[in-house]
Amino acid sequence: MEMTLEKILQGQGFGTRRQCRDLVWDGAVEIGGRVCENPAERISTDGLVFTVDGKAWQYREHLYLMMHKPEGYECSHEPQHHASVFALVPWQFLNRNLQCVGRLDQDTTGLLLLSDDGQFIHRYTSPKKHVPKVYRIALAEPVTDAQVSALESGVQLHQEKNISRALSCGRLGTDCLEMTIDEGRYHQVKRMVAAAGNRVVGLHRSTIGGLSLPEDLEAGQWRHLSAEDLQKLAGLPASQD
């Protein structure tokens, strides 16, 4: 697909059409080592890598990111009491209407997805899709057999009609659980644990679908999802190429 250079820059989040023209006229944009001079030049986006002010950017029609969300950050563009996770990504992404694919509380850490693709966001946030998510849960009190059994068989949450059940639930220690759920109710894990008779003091999401948080992705870091990551997320077998 071909587009004008100014439209490419605008679509990648570098500002308004006029601001993108100015970047080109100022000599800030290069492709293949060539300084671009014409904002109206038509460029193929297939495999396109360009630089703006010396920094390389790969053209992406949509953004698909994973982040290791740290504690003390809100999943909101308008945070109330803490910093926003969007402060951890390049400002150009915000011009592309980047959104969290579901939210984690400010005190919850772990795997967070972000995208500007509405269909992708719906696929992984809609309760009807039943996407499994795995959490590590630190508890205020030692976990009992009865509590594990209650979480697996189902607990009644306040002001909820349906019973909430864990797909699986097992001990990781005397006061730590690993639990898998496939719903996305408000504060669901914390409310389920409370309904079972304990209290969450630490919560970490390790997996969404078939995608687990990489061990080498430190808290506060992010990266683009690869084709293999997207396959794992959807629960598809890895490519044999």
Q: Are 200 and 215 in contact (CB under 8 A)?
A: no
Q: Sign of dihedral through CA atoms 140, 144, 150, 152?
A: positive
Task: Sheet with 49-52: list strands edge to edge.
Answer: 34-35, 29-31, 49-52, 55-58
> Which residue in the list 22, 105, 107, 117 is annotated as catalytic?
105
Q: Is 105 a catalytic residue?
A: yes
Please, which contacts does 75-78 make with residues 24 or more away whose CB atoms are closer than 8 Å?
75/100, 75/103, 75/104, 75/112, 76/100, 76/103
Distance of CA 183 to the CA centre of its chain: 17
CA separation for the pair 233, 132 (Å, rounded): 10
Strand segments, DSSP code E, in 140-199 are 155-156, 163-164, 168-173, 176-181
Q: Are 7 and 17 in contact (CB under 8 A)?
A: yes
Q: Which residues are catalytic?
A: 105
